[in-house]
Homo-oligomer: A and B are copies of this chain.
């Protein structure tokens, strides 16, 4: 894409009321726009990044047999009344609104209830399980405070997957498959090493649930970690009994700030019993379906990546989620010969399947480089009168600052494979 056509501008300062690093940088770089506290719009570069994160999650959910749907935001109160969760005393994050006939309805903050009711039409027998159903859907949560930028907002896309099993054994296999898929997602996003499957409190149907917690100074939580064993316990369940269960001493755990980037939860038959999601088992008896739910917030992940990888110059995107792989920065473009040459390099990069943002604007080199650093695209390719005459290109790796000189032929190949 030509930067001269991109409608967003970078800016020197974030809004005065923005306190989080991730939102400050994303606003300054033109990735997001703050509509109000806890509500951010995604601009072209931000949406590209968000969609790459979503794409990775979708591949992994499809890979374990997930089937994608989209449920509504508007929530029928009757299905929530059946589980006791429509009451604001039971759930304190509801946004409620009213139909013209004065019926109070909700805006979905999660979807166990409608998902369970919908599945009544489709699951009849143990032969219909296991089934995994997921969505990327906008949740609304009336948070009292929203101070963590795009990491905790009042409106956000969530990947929520629900699993439906004929019994607990079948459920446990699914639970493990989803956990494995989550590890693959975090590895692909480049935060796998610092992301811990963390013991958290369970419910009626399991002693533990699991959070996935990524170590970051911006974390809202504290987790207790044993790095050698890749073991983590959240604050809530860090007690004698749990440590004994896990065979770990208090002194072997390190308290670190972390951000929850995913969670997996055994629901058991709580929702299927309340809402009548019953199947016929092998013995011809009607039994409630055994369920699980599994969440990941793509924008929260995006915020965590900004927090973890940014440096003093700006954002540093991992290649898997960067809006573009390469930032082609043209200098001396007031010279028609250089501009023609740079245009040709841009077209050739595109023809070779490289996603490239081309800074084709007339602006000072220092300004261009500062903007490029702020935006955090992994590789900067500089094209100028000097590189044109020499027949080489200067490539700067954003993360390390390392500089390489590549020939035109090397450039159009998979240039990130060429050693620094």
Binding site for B on A (CB under 8 A): 5-9, 11, 30, 33, 35-36, 39-44, 47, 65, 67-76, 95-100, 105, 107, 114, 118-119, 121-124, 128, 131, 133, 138, 140, 142-144, 154-155
In angstroms, Cα B123 to Cα A9, docked, is 9
- Bound-complex Cα distance A30 to B155 (A): 29
Asked whether, in the complex, the Cβ of A70 is within 8 Å of the Cβ of B42, the reply is yes
Shortest beta-carbon distance from A237 to chain B in Å: 28
Contact B122 A67 (CB under 8 A): no
Residue on B nearest A70 in the bound complex, by CB: B42
- How long is the Cα–Cα vector from A30 to B44 in the complex, in angstroms? 34
Task: Knowing A44-B68, A68-B44, A74-B155, say if A100 contacts B138 (CB, 8 Å).
Answer: no
Q: Among B30, B105, B131, B144, point to the contact of A36 (Cβ < 8 A).
A: B105
Q: Given A43-B69, A95-B97, A100-B142, does the pair A74, B123 have CB atoms closer than 8 Å?
A: no
A-B contact pairs, 11 of them (CB 8 A): A7-B123, A33-B121, A35-B75, A39-B72, A39-B74, A40-B72, A41-B118, A42-B70, A95-B98, A97-B97, A107-B107
From the candidates B43, B73, B95, B124, name the one contacting A138 in the complex (CB within 8 A): B73
How many identical chains are in the complex?
2
Is the contact region of chain A dominated by helix, strand, or loop, or is it mixed? Answer: mixed
Bound-state CA distance A96–B99 (Å) is 10
A75 contacts across to B, CB distance below 8 A:
35
- When distances are taken between beta carbons in the complex, the residues of chain B under 8 Å from A119 are 7
**Residue in A33, A44, A47 whose Cβ sees the most chain B Cβ within 10 Å:** A33
CB distance from A49 to the nearest CB of B (A): 12
With A35-B74, A71-B35, A138-B138 as contacts: A100 and B144 at CB distance below 8 Å = yes
Report the minimal beta-carbon distance from A46 to chain B, rounded to whole angstroms. Answer: 8
**In the complex, residue of chain B having the shortest beta-carbon distance to the beta carbon of A8:** B122
Q: Are A122 and B7 in contact (CB under 8 A)?
A: yes
| Contact with A73, one of B5, B118, B142, B155 (Cβ below 8 angstroms) | B155
CB distance from A52 to the nearest CB of B (A): 14
Tell whether, in the assembled complex, residue B76 and residue A47 are in contact, meaning their CB atoms are under 8 Å apart: no
CB–CB B42/A74 < 8 A = no
* Known pairs A9-B122, A118-B33, A119-B7; A67 contacts B39 (CB<8 A): no
Contact between chains at B9 and A72 (CB < 8 Å): no
Residues from chain B with Cβ under 8 Å of A73 in the complex:
73, 138, 140, 155
Pick the contact of A35 from B8, B35, B76, B155 — CB < 8 Å? Answer: B76
Residue of B whose beta carbon sits closest to that of A33? B118
Question: Chain B: which residue is nearest A67 at the CB level?
Answer: B44
- Say yes or no: B72 contacts A11, CB within 8 Å: no
Which residue of B has the minimal Cβ distance to A92?
Answer: B100
Q: Are A47 and B72 in contact (CB under 8 A)?
A: no
Q: Is the CB of B33 within 8 A of A154?
A: no
